[in-house]
């Protein structure tokens, strides 16, 4: 969709994000905090993730076993992304990323093979391998070795782990993103962009974030919110900030003209809807007269969210597919960028803005407890 977004602000935000990422990349693993949640991790048949023989020697296998309350079954979900027992970390043997790579106990070293995300869907994911903690052989027998495997959503990959306050389970009957997760994504958001407004808008597009596997659902939600984050400066701006552009969004060649006024069709809402023809098309689709009353998009939170979802689910813009189809059919996050603003950003035109969107997406999938998938850039 052709429009002007917050270019200068985005470039600054991108530079800050990259600088922070560079700093974080050199930090070592920090000790677990007393505030980190601690407890047993249960799986198949209610059995516990257990360190064999309660040994804290490097290389000790991690297995499934009857729960007994011992220290070998007490895991700390540390703030640095590690899972710890007996003073050491859950570790993928030989830094493996292939299906069947076993897990063990090892000194905490900060490697990617010791990083885990406990998801709202009760998966435990290693983002580096893009795989889930899994019980070998899908058996609940004592001593069954744990491994990593492609995430399938099967019972032998489901775990009940201790949880902190920042990532509670999402409501399965509502949006796959919980309100707490939404607030974590947008800590400085404008109150106009309410979670309740977003949830109220979801009924207009029931396939959104409810198509495919749990991983795909979370990836689509994260992808939509990451692009929205970029367009609005973190859900801060409701309307386009450059007022000099306002008169430019009236296409007089349309038979219906611009009944709300020459300067009435500027960017509004989470996807920065602009141009008279887009207000007309979105309004017709949603059953709302946005051509004559475009101000609804900046005055009604649910209407604003609906316009964003309209574009996401029905428009391909300068791309070849809708952003929704890009995510549910495996084309990847990069194709959502192309469909939203590819004519100005993709194919090397503005890599900093592309990276800004990617950075937000990677952060959001981590909050949602899943992995980003492939083809992140355009």
Compute the C-alpha angle 116/24/378, nearest 5°: 80
- Which residue out of 220, 231, 240, 345 is catalytically annotated? 231
List, as one string, the DSSP characters of 154-220. -GGG--B----SSSPPP-TTS-SS-HHHHHHH-TT--TTS-HHHHHHHGGG-TTTT-SSSHHHHHHH
Residue 239 pairs with which residues in a beta bridge? 268
CA distances (Å), 83 to each of 62, 66, 188, 372, in order?
A: 12, 19, 30, 21
Q: Spell out a b/e string for 157-171, using b for 16 or more CB atoms within 10 Å of the CB, else e.
A: bbbebbeeeebeebe
Pair 125, 371: CB distance under 8 Å: yes
Query: Which of 247, 231, 218 lies closest to 190, judged by CA?
Result: 231
Residue 39 pairs with which residues in a beta bridge? 75
The distance from CA 190 to its chain's CA centroid, rounded to whole angstroms, is 20
240 is catalytic: no
Instruction: Write the CB contacts of 320 (distance below 8 Å, at least 6 apart in sequence).
Output: 335, 338, 339
- Give dist(CA 30, CA 109) in Å, integer: 9
- Give dist(CA 84, CA 63) in Å, integer: 14
With left for phi above 0 and alpha for psi between -120 and 50, is residue 56 left, alpha or beta?
Answer: alpha
Query: Which of 107, 109, 111 lies closest to 127, judged by CA?
Result: 111
Catalogue the active-site residues.
231
């Amino acid at each position: 969709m052709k429009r002007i977004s917050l270019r200068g602000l985005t470039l600054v935000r991108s530079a800050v994000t990259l600088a922070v990422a560079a700093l974080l990349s050199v930090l070592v693993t920090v000790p677990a905090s007393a505030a980190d949640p601690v407890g047993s991790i249960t799986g198949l048949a209610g059995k516990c993730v257990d360190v064999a023989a309660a040994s804290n020697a490097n290389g000790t296998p991690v297995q499934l076993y009857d729960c007994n309350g011992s220290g070998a079954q007490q895991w700390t979900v540390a703030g640095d992304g590690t899972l710890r027992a007996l003073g050491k970390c859950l570790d993928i043997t030989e830094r493996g990323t292939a299906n069947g790579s076993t897990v063990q106990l090892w000194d905490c070293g900060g490697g990617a093979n010791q990083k885990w995300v406990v998801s709202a869907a009760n998966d435990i994911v290693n983002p580096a391998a893009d795989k889930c903690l899994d019980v070998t052989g899908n058996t609940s027998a004592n001593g069954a070795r744990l491994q990593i495997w492609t995430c399938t959503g099967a019972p032998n990959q489901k775990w009940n782990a201790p949880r902190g306050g920042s990532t509670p389970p999402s409501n399965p009957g509502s949006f796959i993103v919980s309100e707490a997760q939404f607030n974590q994504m947008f800590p400085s958001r404008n109150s106009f962009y309410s979670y309740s407004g977003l949830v109220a808008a979801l009924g207009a597009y029931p396939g959104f974030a409810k198509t495919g596997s749990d991983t795909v659902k979370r990836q689509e939600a994260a992808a939509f919110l990451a692009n929205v984050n970029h367009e609005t400066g973190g859900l801060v701006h409701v309307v386009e900030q450059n007022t000099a552009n306002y008169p430019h969004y009236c296409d007089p060649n349309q038979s219906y003209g611009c009944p709300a006024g020459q300067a009435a069709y500027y960017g509004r809402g989470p996807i920065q809807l602009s141009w008279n023809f887009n207000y007309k098309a979105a309004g017709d689709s949603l059953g709302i007269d946005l051509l004559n009353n475009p101000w609804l998009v900046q005055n009604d939170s649910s209407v604003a969210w609906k316009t964003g979802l309209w574009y996401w689910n029905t428009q391909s813009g300068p791309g070849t597919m809708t952003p929704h189809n890009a995510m549910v059919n495996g084309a990847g996050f990069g194709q959502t960028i192309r469909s939203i603003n590819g004519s100005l950003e993709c194919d090397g035109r503005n890599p900093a803005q592309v990276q800004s969107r990617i950075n937000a997406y990677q952060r959001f999938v981590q909050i949602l407890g899943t992995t980003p998938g492939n083809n992140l850039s355009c």
